[in-house]
Structure 1
């Protein structure tokens, strides 16, 4: 039993304010869970924002074998947590709600208490504690572990937000510096496709620019996509119309969205989700950028804003590079005309 609930929570809150990295924070959460709950071990799952699934991120007091093979599937736990608010199992090695009973027994686990980590009513993780002897947790202990999870949720969200801002700022600086250091269109297109894909772990990217003479969007660059996919056929007018209006298009599942014209080709290419952003310069839509993901994923608002900013910066860089090419061509023509005139005298 936790004798001084208030002091324990205050201690946790003060400790969370001292960490500077994500890993330090996660380990501190488990350290306090094990110490203040007087348990054998603890583990933590977090929602992977890119892969849209719960993954184990840190554990304390558990063997490598258990961490690899003894855990209960997160989706199975989430169903119980959504219905009941927490999961308590006095006899974990025989509880049908839990998986891998034999491994739990070998690990010396007797009882488990599992609570959700939520932020603004959204699951962002799962916190579990384990005992080596069968144990009943009293109400104050359940309240404490849930309060610890709430404190952890706020700290994790703040840390993620800080890291996301830092990462996006660095990425934007690096990519815009690279684009501004060259007036070569091929280099700019490479930055907008390959480097953005590597930064955000996209499977591939495709850029189409507006050909004003033909009034069509022509493919000018791609990355990570097969020739078969690139040559699949004409692009859906419905998506192009939305993009030309300056809209961002998010497709979470290419097999279920009727705006996707070639879902079978998408599946064959290994594409699950896609994002389309317009390339804009001085209120003019110059083209579109498609980004493809090999897994179903969410596209956070911060990512979309960053990609739109990069697309606009890229549009300006492409426009400047195009103007330079035109000036160079005009200058070449003038030199040739001047040379021709001199030949007459």
Structure 2
């Protein structure tokens, strides 16, 4: 069978798996096995990077021993710009190349050459797919292109699994929040649940909810999750100087909190490990009454879907506040009615 036929069969096999299963890890393992079957070599490994957690881990591999030590995240970050520029990295003699980490480990593992291509999702780098050979080897443009196609299929598998998991998680969050609103009129408990749920769902460091005090024109903290007491007690938040646009009803993303002119307490945010902030308005009857803020520990681009989700959850928070307010009004009206009836008991 020709090399081209091997490539075609591997791509078709993985494509069919993508259309018939939602199990991410199963597809990724199929990809690394397909790399060895079609290209030959000693081993293959697919890595995914999570900057938020500071990890760069192998999620699928074949042909490597349990004791083999992969390169760390710090080393990988140095190689990413060149990898993205060229589209691949080729270490012809990994045991002696100064650009390779853990050379002694690779020599002991019997690794000679390494070919690395990026794994991307919608153009965003999320990991790498690597092929390891037992003999020093050069790779043709066709081989590099084939490995790149498999890496792209890996990106599709990761993104599909993420979307399905996000859909499930979003459904769970809305159900939990609806149940909380339905079963409790303690607005602080409801907003505390909201802040923790949304930070977990979006995968950020922390979240907070502040409501507008119109008399002092400041934002009062009513709920938070993931922030230290020292940071929370840093001082008053001005509605004019901070997130003014969010208070006008629009989501706002501050990409670098330590340099943005509209951000208060820059030093405190840097000490807390806050880099990017997403602020969305909390509304009650179309009137903005506060903001829900998410804090990321790394520079981050929030997707349109993520911003829509956070905005929808903020609306749920506004609905909970509105319901609690209506209940208190009704309770007050009922008390006045009872007092009125009791004062005229002589009528009966």
Q: Which band: TM-score by shorter chain?
A: 0.7 to 0.9
Aligned length: 345
- Of stretches 23-32 and 331-340 in structure 1, the one that deviates more from structure 2 is 331-340
- C-alpha offsets along residues 52-77 of structure 1, whole Å, 9 cap, x if unaligned? 87544332222343245678832233
| Equivalence for 1:153 | 155
**What SS does the corresponding residue of 1:65 show, helix, strand or coil?**
coil
Separation in structure 2 between the aligned mates of residue 271 and residue 47 of structure 1, nearest angstrom = 20
Aligned-pair distance for 1:145?
1.3
How far apart are 1:270 and its partner, in Å? 3.2
Aligned match of 1:197 in 199, 222, 225?
A: 199
Contact 1:90 1:134 in 2 (8 A): yes
Q: Kindly indicate whether residue 283 of structure 2 is the aligned counterpart of residue 280 of structure 1.
A: yes
1: CA distance, partners of 2:255 / 2:23: 31
CA distance in 1, matches of 2:346, 2:305: 62
Query: Which residues in structure 2 correspond to 1:74-153 (within 5 Å)?
Result: 74-153=76-155
The question of 1:332 aligning with 2:335 is answered yes
Gaps of 5+ in 2: none
- 1:119 and 1:221, CA in 2 relative to 1: closer, same or farther beyond 3 A? closer
* Cα deviation, residue 3, structure 1: 4.7
Give the Cα separation in 2 of the matches to 1:72 and 1:265: 26
Question: Does the Cα contact within 8 Å between 1:176 and 1:310 map onto a contact in 2?
Answer: no
Stretches of structure 1 lacking an aligned partner (at least 5 in a row): none
Aligned match of 1:293: 296
Match of 2:39 in 1: 37
2:15 equivalent in structure 1:
13
Structure 1 length-normalised TM: 0.88
Taking a change above 3 Å as real, the CA distance of residues 83 and 291 of structure 1, as seen in their structure-2 partners, is closer
Conserved? CA contact 2:46–2:60, under 8 Å: yes
Q: Note the alpha carbon deviations across 1:183-212, whole angstroms, 9 max, x for none.
A: 331222222223333444443332222345
- Are the equivalent residues in 2 in contact too, given 1:50–1:299 (CA < 8 A)? no
Gap change, CA 1:169 and 1:188, over 3 Å in 2: same
Cα 1:10–1:235 change in 2 (3 A) is: same
Q: Which moved more, 1:161-170 or 1:88-97?
A: 161-170
Q: 1:261 aligns with which of 259, 264, 273?
A: 264
Assess, with a 3 A threshold, how the Cα gap between structure 1 residues 151 and 198 changes in structure 2: closer, same or farther.
closer
> How far off is 1:344 after superposition?
11
CA distance in 2, matches of 1:122, 1:227: 35
Question: Do the aligned partners of 1:209 and 1:217 also contact (CA within 8 Å) in 2?
Answer: yes
Over 6 Å off, 4+ runs: none
Answering whether residue 321 of structure 2 is matched by residue 321 of structure 1, we say: no
Shift of 1:224: 3.3
Cα contact 2:69–2:105 (8 A) shared by 1: no
CA 1:243–1:78: 2 relative to 1, 3 Å: same
Partner Cα distance (1:331, 1:81) in 2: 70
Q: Is the 8 A contact 1:50 1:298 kept in 2?
A: no
**1:66 aligned counterpart, secondary structure:** coil
Native 8 Å contact 1:52 1:297 kept in 2: no
Matched, 1:209 2:176: no
CA contact (8 A) 2:89 2:115 kept: yes
CA distance 1:182–1:18, change in 2 (3 Å): same
Matches within 5 A, 1:212-251: 212=214, 216-236=218-238, 237-251=240-254
Q: How far apart are the structure 1 equivalents of 2:204 and 2:186?
A: 24
**Counterpart in 1 of 2:3?**
2
CA offset at residue 310 of structure 1? 0.7
Secondary structure at 1:238 match in 2: coil
Higher relative contact order (CA 8 A, sep 6+): 1
